Structure 1
């Protein structure tokens, strides 16, 4: 395949994914279909199948793009904080994570809600260090690891071996701490995003900020 043909193919794949994302935003996850994408692009379904033979292969790449978008958004705010301020970098990324999820409800439903075809496959590939999901998690692990080396991370007993989860350079106790804090932040963000706190509060931000404060107060000074 010539370079020109490859570029044309890459551009078409990008257009297919953007069309799928448009369908997602306007109609929700169930609105995504290869036939609907072909119709919106003005091509035949068989022509589309040359790029994505099944919906799950398209969803798999869409998940990769969405995780990359989320990671980049967090990195942008992180890089506005001094590199030596590991605590500050963590906090702005956690807040950006919440902001992105709340401002992208349809996209968040795909990557954090009930799995669509292709999402399970995406999660099963998280053993690869180049995987978009692993790279997203790594930007949170890195400052935690730096705090650990400074003696500031109140790690406890290791219950998860990082070597089994594509983080071989991270001590198991640090990986355990990361998972515990991740599930706390993740839980409150997703509960808010999917409306599971609406019965209790009109604004869940104070609950989220209380979790942020609890994290900062737990660090060793």
Structure 2
């Protein structure tokens, strides 16, 4: 068999894994994290519970795989949106990233809650977390956006007193290696920028905005426009 070509058994296994994950996500959307159960998935697929355990040894393994897939899909989308805007338009790249986060979350509210909100009862994540690579990409991408506009932020009084000790050592080590010219205040700005994006999205996904506004998208865009205005871009 040529290198890189999957055998029939491998293709069938991959297809079964995709089906298991798809059913698990539907159960999540319909009933929340508690609804994800290997036995329930087995019934829908006409399989025995033992057969499903041949693909995912535990429910935790399945949930970890779902979180990794979901987070990776989100990061793929925001990176693509950012990269569609020229590098010499840093403000436009920030807006594109934020709009992509919101668009994905509104289209996939259950998945957003799985990653950023509702804890899964009894779930124990693997060492390092279930989506370490995607999380690192998201962090690096967001801080990269902040680093690109940081020259416009220098001298702000509210950001003058941050130190590297104000942040986790693992995050600090990564950011200082990736962006050596960025000071601690720059990382603080990146986290605050994330908060401005994430806050309104979370309110919308959890149903807290619609009673207050008929157009959450307009509200979000106004927040992004104000963020860019604050940068003087």
Bin the TM-score by the shorter chain: 0.7 to 0.9
Alignment of 1:72-83 (within 5 A): 72-83=76-87
Q: Name which one, 1 or 2, has greater alpha-carbon Rg.
A: 2
Cα gap change, 1:136 to 1:196, in 2 (>3 Å): same
Gaps of 5+ in 2: 1-5
Report the more deviating stretch, 156-165 or 93-102: 156-165
| Correspondence for 1:63 | 67
The alignment status of 1:125 with 2:128, answered yes or no, reads yes
CA contact (8 A) 1:59 1:117 kept: no
Note if contact 2:34-2:121 (Cα within 8 Å) is conserved in structure 1. Answer: no
State the partner residue of 2:170.
Answer: 164
1:209 aligned to 212, 221, 224, which one? Answer: 221
Partner residue, 2:153? 153
Superposed CA RMSD: 2.8
Q: How many residues align?
A: 215
Residues 1:107 and 2:111 are matched in the alignment? yes
Judge conservation of contact 1:23–1:31 (CA < 8 Å) in 2. yes
Give the secondary structure class of the aligned counterpart of 1:125: coil
Structure 2 partner of 1:135 = 137
Contact 2:65 2:130 in 1 (8 A): no
- Verify the 8 A CA contact 2:74 2:101 in the aligned structure 1: yes
Deviation larger for 62-71 or 77-86: 77-86
Residue deviations 1:126-169 (CA, integer Å, cap 9, x gap): 599x5222222322221222222xx1234623253364324342
Relative to structure 1, the CA distance from residue 161 to residue 68 in structure 2 (aligned partners, 3 Å threshold; closer, same or farther) is same
More RCO (CA 8 Å, sep 6+): 2
Q: Output the TM-score relative to the length of structure 1.
A: 0.82
Normalised by the length of structure 2, the TM-score is 0.79
Q: Deviation at 1:54?
A: 2.0
| 1:182/1:34 CA distance change after superposition, 3 Å | same
| CA distance in 2 between partners of 1:178 and 1:22 (Å) | 34
Stretches of structure 1 that go unaligned for 5 or more consecutive residues are none
Aligned partners of 1:158, 1:10: CA distance in 2, in Å?
48
